Amino acid sequence: MINSRDIHDLHPVVQDKCRRFLEECKKSGIDILVTSTYRDSEAQNALYAQGRTRPGKIVTNAKAGQSFHNWCVAFDVVPVVHGKPVWDDTDIWLSIGHIGRSCGLEWAGDWKSFPEKPHFQFTGGLTLKDFQNGKTL
Ligand SMILES: [Zn+2]
């Protein structure tokens, strides 16, 4: 099972954008921890099981192949303040989202249904179906 938080596991195009994003956050005085990059099918299904067939809170609606993390084009982050991850500071999230957009990333905090502040992706206009059919960036 692979559940990576290493940005080297992202698609090279997304890796570049992620690096620039992390630099820009740093310049703005925001420390960022990358919590997830690539997830293989097994890891995705384990996550999907959480809150359904296994204990915990539901954290995703995506099964294997249905998350952009499975295609190496998405990553999750959390801001770190005084060495601790901070999940609930709206102002910091808005700043991070703004920086992500300026780096050409799509920020899931903008999504109307199931908004996800930690999640950023770059799909180059490709859909999940495209990736499932073997297309890539
Ligand atoms: Zn994500």
pLDDT digits (tens, 9 = 90+) for 47-89: 999 999 999 999 899 999 999 999 999 999 999 999 999 999 9
Going by C-beta distance under 8 Å and a sequence separation of 6 or more, which residues neighbour residue 47? 39, 59, 60
Q: How far is the CA of 82 from the centre of ligand 1 (A)?
A: 24
Q: How far is the CA of 124 from the centre of ligand 1 (A)?
A: 17
Q: How far is the CA of 14 from the centre of ligand 1 (A)?
A: 13
Mean pLDDT over 98-118 rounds to: 96
* CATH topology assigned to domain 7-132: Muramoyl-pentapeptide Carboxypeptidase; domain 2 (3.30.1380)
From residue 44, alpha-carbon distances to 35, 100, 132 in Å are 14, 24, 15
Provide the 8-state DSSP code for 131. Answer: H
**Quick one: pLDDT at residue 9?**
98
In this model, does residue 92 exceed pLDDT 90?
yes
**Quick one: pLDDT at residue 120?**
98
Q: How far is the CA of 9 from the centre of ligand 1 (A)?
A: 14
User: How far apart (Å, rounded) are the C-alpha atoms in residues 105 and 10?
Assistant: 13
Question: How does the average pLDDT of the chain come out, rounded?
Answer: 97
**Quick one: pLDDT at residue 13?**
98
In this model, does residue 114 exceed pLDDT 90?
no
pLDDT band at 100 (very low <50, low <70, confident <90, very high): very high
Domain boundaries, the chain: 7-132
Q: How far is the CA of 69 from the centre of ligand 1 (A)?
A: 6
| pLDDT tens readout for residues 121-135 | 999 999 999 999 999
Q: Enumerate residues with CB within 5 Å of ligand 1 (an ion).
A: 76, 119
Q: How far is the CA of 116 from the centre of ligand 1 (A)?
A: 7
